[in-house]
Amino acid sequence: MMQTQEPCAQQQTHELETASHENQHKDRGTAHSMSTPTRAPTLTPAVFSLYASLNSQADAERFQGLRTTVFANARAEHVFIQAQAPLASLTVSNADNVHINACSAVIDNLVIRDVTRVVWLPATTQRSTACHLSNVQHIDLRTKSTLTEDLGAFAGIPSVGLATASDDTGVDLASLHGVKQLRLSTEGTEAVRGHSVCQTAETLVLSHTSITPTDMLPAAAVVKLSHMSAVPELLHLPNAIDIALGYGSKVRQFTCASRINRLVIRDATSTPRCIPNFEHAHVVCLALPHLHLTSEQLLTSAPALTNSPHTSTSVVRGIPNHAHVCLDCFEIDGPVPPCVKELEALEGSALQGSFVSHVPRLSLKDKCGHARINDVHLLSGRKVLQLTQVLLEGELASCEQLSLCGCRGRLGLTSIGSLDLNGAVVTTEDGSGDGDNNIDSGDGSDDSDNRALAETKLVITRVHHVTLCRLEECVIHDFGCFQDVQHLTLKECKLKDLASFPPVHVLVLRNCETMDEDGWCPDAVFVDRSPKKMEQLLLAERRRW
């Protein structure tokens, strides 16, 4: 019987190597192509954001598996988890922001580690013992459950926010001893224990809760109170430098540091507040609609910045010129003091432009019906100028931002950074296209028409040197008064025809119409096109439809 013998492994290897060696001499290219290819490096994300809807424990495990496989343990920027069903366990780690919405799903074992900020909306039957946190900088708990009765899981976290709204539960803050930032809103919850944690907190944001006369706040540098149920008659804040007493704070008297950064008081009651005599405040904001402080009170209590809804600008006379005062909803009864840097005024009668000539940010609105502004040219040179439903006659120039809405009269505009016109009529008054704003012209026929029109609309007779020009609900008889306009946007405007566009860098048309027979203007955006080319393209679009 013939037997076949397998060659030994060494012999096979030798023959393969010899063949390979010969092939290399015959065809180096072929030998090279048979070599082991170099594998491309695996790409992994540097950072990612994820929304996960978990309908089962298997989903929770797949979510965790993704962290170590697809995402290669990369740090997450935002993770939003919607728990749709009860979970035996859930682990979230290595993220900047985590939001867990589990209002209808109990999580038996929740593990959160190495996360900067957590927002957790637990089920009403959730227990804090099911939560294990490590290296978490802030947790914001929003719940109606009994979870707040035992906050031991949150011990050691530097910043904690609690929002509860239930008559059936209590809040025990004792476990949060040493917390640096505490935000507490316990609307509908009367039993709040462990107030002593507030003694070491550097930031306190409280609402719908109480501060007892025995509560001391020696470490609080930032204190914000609103809608409080009870506060001491005299609230001591010896080191507070950022204080915000919102509506319903109930604070009538308080102490603070001698030099503070910010004081905000908002109060809709008619009971006077006692403002402490601090040495200096960087910002003071007073919203006291039913009170009127005297100039002396403002001088002593608001030396840096005042925002208070009084009726007259005279209340700030005497404040140093270098101060930065903002006035909102004031009436102008004389020259506005130089300390006023921002002014929003309601006018019911004629206003002298000289009264507000130095205010860099100015908003004027007629509360009755088109009060006249005299010496309009004195409003030139504003950083921000907003005029609404006022009567204007003259010229405005050199404004960074200018907004004209629902005004009347006649106006020429030059050197405007950003221009917004609403409800105006654009025309060339003398028909020559140079935008001359003379009151009388020739036989007076055209001027007479414009005068009649100016009684109901704002007639714009010059638009020169404007970077960004936006017109909305305007009627444009002639673009001849436009010169050196860079970017022009027309929205819901009525144009004479499609042949009168000015040369601009960018033209945007939205929902406009024309006065010619067709009446329709296509929506379009043109960049660096000549007026003739824009007309041709628009007419072609008309014919196509």
Token match 């979510």: residue? 63
Burial 367-395 (b: 16+ CB within 10 A, else e): eeebbbbeebebbbbbebbbbbbbbbbbb
The number of residues in the chain equals: 545
| Arithmetic mean of pLDDT over the chain | 81
pLDDT score for 13: 34
Residue 145 scores a pLDDT above 80: no
**Strands 506-510, 524-527: pairing kind:** antiparallel
Higher pLDDT, 18 or 183: 183
Burial 39-53 (b: 16+ CB within 10 A, else e): eeeeeeeeebeeebe
Residue 78 and residue 96 in contact, taking contact as beta carbons nearer than 8 Å: yes
- Measured CA to CA, the distance from residue 487 to residue 420 in angstroms comes to 12
Burial 450-460 (b: 16+ CB within 10 A, else e): beebbeebbbb
Nearest CA to 130 among 142, 141, 122, 139?
122
Residue 272 scores a pLDDT above 80: no
Is this model's pTM higher than 0.85 or not? no
Angle value at C-alpha 98, between 97 and 102, nearest 5 degrees = 160
pLDDT score for 32: 43
The mean pLDDT of 246-250, rounded to a whole number, is 91
pLDDT score for 46: 80
Give the model confidence (pLDDT) of 458-509 as tens digits. Answer: 999 999 999 999 999 999 998 999 999 999 999 999 998 888 899 999 999 9
pLDDT score for 316: 66
- Phi and psi, residue 507, nearest 5°: -125, 125
- Phi and psi, residue 23, nearest 5°: -65, -35
